[in-house]
Amino acid sequence: MRPDLDIIQNWIAPGSRVLDLGCGDGSLLEFLKTNKGVSETGLEINEANIAACLAKGVNVIEQDMNKSLQNFKDKSFDTVLLTQTLQAVSYPDVIIDEMLRIGKNCIVTFPNFGNWRSRLYLFTKGRMPVSNFMPYEWYNTPNIHFCTVRDFDVLCKEKNIKVITRTVVDHLHQGSWTIKAWPNFLGETAIYHISR
């Protein structure tokens, strides 16, 4: 269980309906189903991940969220999740709008590109940052829309999105007072709980 997922589960109401966009192997949904009694649906396009969901007994729909989410009705889910996937979608702003349409509230997590390590890497090497956390080269990365904590704050403001809670954590997924003071500099993973 990724520690950021541990933070997320506190924001999920027991027994609620949860949609996870890009649900991976279904670990998070399985956890929420077992511990929170949620009624779960995952969206996924990777065949191995879909098989893993079926093996876990997690409901999974083979659908590409980049094409459309129009088949989901307004407010048909309590919570819509997008964990560590925002940076890999074609139109992040469209996905966020769709999430807020489908869900009563939404949780978005993403790697903070404004983190000091990224800044230092780019500053000293003059090259796109590559790390354990973001192990791809610029030309083969699935992460095509990196953003920083500040970028996301601006997007929320522009779109009149209500930020219910914002938590920013480091690679140990701990949120110390220093990270709270300088989230965009020290934070590695941003976790937003948002609604309209």
Partner 1 sequence: MPKTIPENSVGIVTPQCLHFDEPLLLRSGKTINSYDLMIETYGTLNEAKSNAVLICHALSGDHHAAGFHSEDESKPGWWDNCIGPGKPIDTNKFFVVCLNNLGGCAGSTGPTSINPETGTYYGPDFPVVTVRDWVNSQVRLMDRLGIPQWAAVIGGSLGGMQVMRWSISYPERLRNAIMIAVAPKLSAQNIAFNEVARQSITADPFFHNGRYLEHGTYPKKGVMLARMVGHITYLSDSAMRDKFGKASEAIANEPIAGNFGRDLRTGKLSFGLNVDFQVESYLHYQGERFSEHFDANTYLLMTKALDYFDPTVDYEGNLSAAFAKSSCRFLLMSFSSDWRFPPERSREIVDALLEAGKQVSYLEIEADQGHDAFLLPVPRYLEAFGTYLNRVSDEVNA
Counted residue by residue, the chain has a size of: 196
> What radius of gyration, in Å, describes the C-alpha atoms of the chain?
16
Does position 53 interact with partner 1 (CB under 8 A)? The reply is yes
| Options 55, 120, 144, 163; binder of partner 1; rule CB under 8 A | 55
d(CA 172, CA 163): 24
Distances (CA, A) of 58 to 10, 24, 99: 20, 11, 20
Which is closer to partner 1, CB of 1 or CB of 54? 54
| Options 39, 46, 84, 131; binder of partner 1; rule CB under 8 A | 39
Which is closer to partner 1, CB of 35 or CB of 176? 35
How far from the centroid of its chain's Cα atoms is residue 136's Cα? Answer: 18
Task: Fill in the amino acid letter for 71.
Answer: N
Does position 154 interact with partner 1 (CB under 8 A)? The reply is no
Does position 63 interact with partner 1 (CB under 8 A)? The reply is yes
Which residues of this chain interact with partner 1, rule CB under 8 A? 17, 39, 41, 47, 50-51, 53-57, 59-63, 71-73, 76
